[in-house]
Chain A
Amino acid sequence: EVQLLESGGGLVQPGGSLRLSCAASGFTFSNYGVGWVRQAPGKGLEWVSVISDNGERTEYADSVKGRFTISRDNSKNTVYLQMNSLRVEDTAVYYCAKPRTPGLVPHFDYWGQGTLVTVSS
């Protein structure tokens, strides 16, 4: 059974940092890219970042570019999202998601349960 489990969310002050983790199981992790999508309270879905299966390609939304860094450790079946210089508008539930096919074709067929990041003073 495919599972994605996010962790690392919490309350942080503006300007602070957090590292989110996404632990995957139930599929050949090293064959798939992984994406992060966030959802602010009461709002729609916003793509944040993706990383390719081997980690060589990374892409970011303009809203987080230069502040967030995505990485992965295929030996641990885990993807990370390092979030620095956090802003109030980064407050959201952050989901990690798996593409439907091997590689990095971004239609996502499995999603984690999400982890809440709250940026507030």
Chain B
Amino acid sequence: EIVLTQSPATLSLSPGERATLSCRASQSVITYLAWYQQKPGQAPRLLIYDASNRATGIPARFSGSGSGTDFTLTISSLEPEDFAVYYCQQRYNWPPITFGQGTRLEIK
């Protein structure tokens, strides 16, 4: 099973700042990694698929990078609606489909 470890667990930033979230895989997932955003009481929303491709309707301030075992989600300039929990997920070696434990992005 591929374990995904996200860091930090919580990130405290202000609107307008740049956010950098990390996801590390226990073995290579090539580029078969996605990022999701989840707000309280809502379903997850796909942001990035295959490491660096923005999903339909996702603003350009969201970008993904990385390959192998180290991946990054960057939000270039935080908007108030970006404060949420973010999860990474791999589809390279499944089952099982695995998610990271999440990074909470909170307002400083």
Contacts and interface: CB of A to CB of B under 8 A. Distances in A.
A106 B87 contact: no
A44 to B, nearest CB: 5
Given A60-B95, A107-B89, A107-B91, A113 B102 contact: no
Interface stretch (A13-21, A22-30, A45-53, A84-92): A45-53
18 contacts: A45-B36, A45-B38, A45-B99, A45-B102, A47-B95, A47-B97, A50-B95, A59-B94, A61-B96, A95-B43, A97-B44, A100-B49, A105-B91, A106-B94, A107-B49, A108-B44, A108-B46, A113-B43
Interface of B: 34, 36, 38, 43-46, 49-50, 55-56, 87, 89, 91, 94-102
Interface of A: 35, 37, 44-47, 50, 59-62, 95, 97, 100, 105-109, 111-114
A100 B91 CA distance: 12
